[in-house]
Structure 1
Amino acid sequence: MSGTAERPLRADAERSVRAILEAAERVLAVDPSASMEQIAAAAGVARTTIHRRFAHRQAMIDALATSAARQLVQAVDDGRPDTAPPLVALHRITANVLEVKSAWAFALGLPADPGSEAAALHQAIARQCIAVLERARADKLIDEAADLQWIQRVYYALLGESLRGHPDDAGLDTDTLAARIIETLLHGAGPRA
């Protein structure tokens, strides 16, 4: 993590960093200008603990962005994008991504600095998305002439709209939302056969 020691952290130090990043997500989602002191209080650690782990506020923000991006990569990987049938992979990945993005909305909403680990992880996710869409096209779930870059943008827009939420969607679980997204992505609003 940016701003942390290069050697691996002890288990208690890893827990401390995790608690700090989770608290930073909660606090900064409500107040993006919150102080390191406010984050320390929410994490249940001393301010000096944060400063020991992160040289400055931006180092903590960078670590937060990287940690969230890693969780997003794990969410995609858990959907078995290379081995599950494409329709199953699309559904699993979508449900997993909805969970991670809703839990880490602040961190995943940050623009990734070019050249950062977070930016590289987001680029890898985008490539993985195209690969899954290519597999879906090979399975005839997507028209062979479809522009996969456009389909990817539509997919991301559907994810974003689901994450923004609507009063009618209150209480819907991520599997239901994922099914809606995939149904809309693959079939649009046209009549069903």
Structure 2
Amino acid sequence: MERKSQQRPLRADAERTVRAILEAAERVLSSHPAATMEQIAEAAGVARTTVHRRFTSREALVDALTAWATRQFYEAVTSAHADSAPPLVALYQVTANVLRVKISWAFAMSRTTPEDPEVARAHADVLDQCDRLFRRAREAGVLRPDTDLVWARHVYYALIHEAAQNRSDEAGEADDVDELATLVVDTLLRGIGRQGSSLSS
């Protein structure tokens, strides 16, 4: 028991070190995609040997970064309890959570590929959760009864993508992300046209 209690701080310290390296890699590679392991180590505040001990190569570091971002993306959706929370509440929460990940881990998210089994599994599960949420939203009257849910999901994904891509430099703050989430959901549910307008009017 004594040996286990002594190891826990080491594991926690190792996790903090890895997290610091990944966060530094995201910051550095977002600005300088060709940055070296040495530059990443400097940004993380650790020795170069520490980075090489955790990651055998620059490619391994980038792979770990994309895997981390994928897990954050998956957890962002599942933590919103889309299957149990009221549909409108869940929709806002999922949107805000996903935007935080896409903004905070933009470089890593841009490197994920559907060929990666972990990425494929995460996105397939997220797709299922999104479809179930949209069905519940239609049943609850949040969406019109005649809503094409596949089209609605495509529009929703596109709105999130644009909100993340076109954010202001200060949009990493929580309040700004909440505002972006509100904009995405309001645009999805209410559109941008004047109520009652039509092609025939």
**Coarse TM-score class (shorter-chain normalised):** 0.7 to 0.9
Once residues 37 and 109 of structure 2 are traced to their aligned partners in structure 1, the CA distance between those partners, rounded to angstroms, is 19
Shift of 1:138: 1.5
Once residues 59 and 113 of structure 1 are traced to their aligned partners in structure 2, the CA distance between those partners, rounded to angstroms, is 18
Structure 2, unaligned stretches of length 5 or more?
A: 1-7, 197-201
C-alpha distance after superposition, 1:16-35 (max 9, x if no partner): 11011000000000011111
Aligned to 1:186: 189
Aligned to 1:86: 87
SS in 2 for 1:98: helix
Aligned to 1:164: 165
Paired residues, what number? 185
Structure 1 stretches of 4+ with a deviation exceeding 4 A read 169-172
Q: Mean Cα displacement is larger for which, 59-68 or 183-192?
A: 183-192
Flag the 1:51–1:166 CA change in 2: closer, same or farther, 3 A. closer
Once residues 63 and 126 of structure 2 are traced to their aligned partners in structure 1, the CA distance between those partners, rounded to angstroms, is 18
Flag the 1:150–1:116 CA change in 2: closer, same or farther, 3 A. same
C-alpha distance after superposition, 1:127-166 (max 9, x if no partner): 2111211111111222344332221111111112211236
Shift of 1:113: 5.1
Code of the aligned partner of 1:186: L
Once residues 113 and 77 of structure 1 are traced to their aligned partners in structure 2, the CA distance between those partners, rounded to angstroms, is 20
Map 1:86-165; keep pairs closer than 5 Å. 86-112=87-113, 114-165=115-166
Shift of 1:54: 1.3
Report the TM-score, using the length of structure 2 for normalisation.
Answer: 0.83
Report the TM-score, using the length of structure 1 for normalisation.
Answer: 0.86
Contact 2:80–2:93 at 8 Å: present in 1 too? yes
Aligned to 2:4: none
SS in 1 for 2:130: helix
Flag the 1:166–1:52 CA change in 2: closer, same or farther, 3 A. closer
Code of the aligned partner of 1:191: R
Code of the aligned partner of 1:151: A
Shift of 1:39: 0.7
From the CA coordinates, give the structure whose radius of gyration is larger: 2
Aligned to 2:37: 36
Flag the 1:11–1:166 CA change in 2: closer, same or farther, 3 A. closer
Contact 2:82–2:91 at 8 Å: present in 1 too? yes
Once residues 76 and 114 of structure 2 are traced to their aligned partners in structure 1, the CA distance between those partners, rounded to angstroms, is 22
Contact 1:65–1:112 at 8 Å: present in 2 too? no
